[in-house]
Amino acid sequence: MAASMSRTNVLKKSAKLCSLVQQVVKNEIHLSSVQQAVTKPVSKPAGRHTVTLVPGDGVGPEMMASVQQVFKTAGVPINFEEHFLSEVHRSQSASYETVLESFKRNGVGLKGIISSPHTFQGTELQTLNMKLRRDLDLFANVVLVRSLPGYVTRHNNLDFVIIREQTEGEYSALEHECVPGVIESLKIVTAVKSKRIAKFAFDYAMRHNRKKVTAVHKANIMKLADGMFLKSCEEVAKFYPSIKLENMIIDNCCMQLVSNPHQFDVMVMPNLYGNIIDNLAAGLVGGAGVVPGECYSDNVAVFEQGARHSFATAVGKNIANPTAVLLAGCNMLRHMSLDFHAQQIETAIHKVVKGGKTRTQDMGGYATTVDFTNAIVNSLQ
């Protein structure tokens, strides 16, 4: 009798164990299928997106042609709404109101460099760039300074971000001749916009796991204007205890950038200083042809080159480097949650640059713009 009860208990335990094993197997199969689903590309948009495209002056149209060719090869679900806007070629330019409305309607744009005349033409002082930034309230300009894999420059393994307030400061278009031969130019700095750009910089640092923000200024000379900018950064920093704030005078900052750029992480600064630092930093990693940039308002994002240089002397020569505009396009795709396409194109760019066989003249090679673009296209295919 005892032996029979023992066998019954053993059978019950065995049946229970088999049931548990079956359940585990089912769970593992389900988990495996879930893992396989997660590893597949998740960038599957329901439809196509419309993006405003402004080719700009100089080699801008050639660069945008490269972008469109690469995007088409990669199957990017984007339709470009193209408008040519220029101060130099006014007869061929679309109306400013049409371009402004397009940016507002689409919310996202890809823009080339719009050149501005060096002399006063007898019209308004604001340039088209300044008008777009103000009317769209593109207050934050972000330039990503990163070394390209396999492309050796004087400083390698750089990775820092320059954030610039770009709606006030010296770019206020408030100038007048008070007496013959004496010009007054007004620099406008407000606490509201200084705190806004400071908060943007600290938020950017938090989102991208950055550890330090450097406020660049000239408060030792412009004690009221730059002093208020620096004070605004210090007030905002109190709400971000995990992010270190340091400040640096603009002239010292330029020296530090060319001697020890690895010390920087996120940099935030007023308008004019940012314009200078953007171009200086681009030179550290290869020049205007390799650094992407982007501009943000609350409702619109515009992506462009990080260094503002239209390269007019290269028009029609097929020698310009489209890397900066292509990388800006990748950042635009990430902004639109098209991460799979962005990564696909960026990987192809890095592969071509790292391979070293197809590089434009500014990168020490002999390839044309078309050669470089085709190399990226072939890498995608």
Q: What is the mean pLDDT of residues 154-180?
A: 93
CA distances from 220 to 48, 216, 318 (A): 52, 12, 46
Select from 235, 117, 239, 193 the least CA-distant residue to 247.
Answer: 235
Q: Using CA atoms, how far apart are residues 278 and 282, in angstroms rounded to an integer?
A: 6
Which pTM value belongs to this model? Answer: 0.85
Tokens representing residue 168 in the block: 């006030």
pLDDT of residue 85: 93
Express each pLDDT in 98-132 by its tens digit. 999 999 999 999 999 998 877 776 667 888 999 99
In DSSP notation, 116-152 reads: --SS--SS-S--HHHHHHHHTT--EEEEEEEPPTT--
Residue 99: half-sphere exposure toward Cβ, Cα within 13 Å: 24
258-269 pLDDT per residue, tens: 999 999 999 999
- Positive/negative CA dihedral, 332, 335, 341, 347: positive
Confidence of residue 89 (pLDDT cuts 50, 70, 90): confident
Per the CB < 8 A criterion, the answer to whether 188 and 168 are in contact is yes
Which of the two residues, 21 and 375, has the higher pLDDT score?
375
Q: Which amino acid is at 230?
A: L
Specify the residue for token string 């098209």: 338
Phi, psi at 267, each rounded to 5°: -120, 140
Mean pLDDT, the chain, integer: 88
Taking alpha carbons only, the member of 354, 346, 313, 261 closest to residue 58 is: 313
Integer Cα distance of 286 and 297 in angstroms: 29
Task: Please check the confidence at residue 218 and state whether its pLDDT lies above 60.
Answer: yes
What local confidence, expressed as pLDDT, does residue 123 receive?
65
Residue with tokens 């938090």: 206
Taken in order of first residue, the domains within the chain and their CATH numbers are: 48-115+124-138+292-381 (3.40.718.10), 154-285 (3.40.718.10)
Q: Would you state the structure tokens that stand for residue 237, as one six-digit string?
A: 């920093």
The amino acid at 292: P
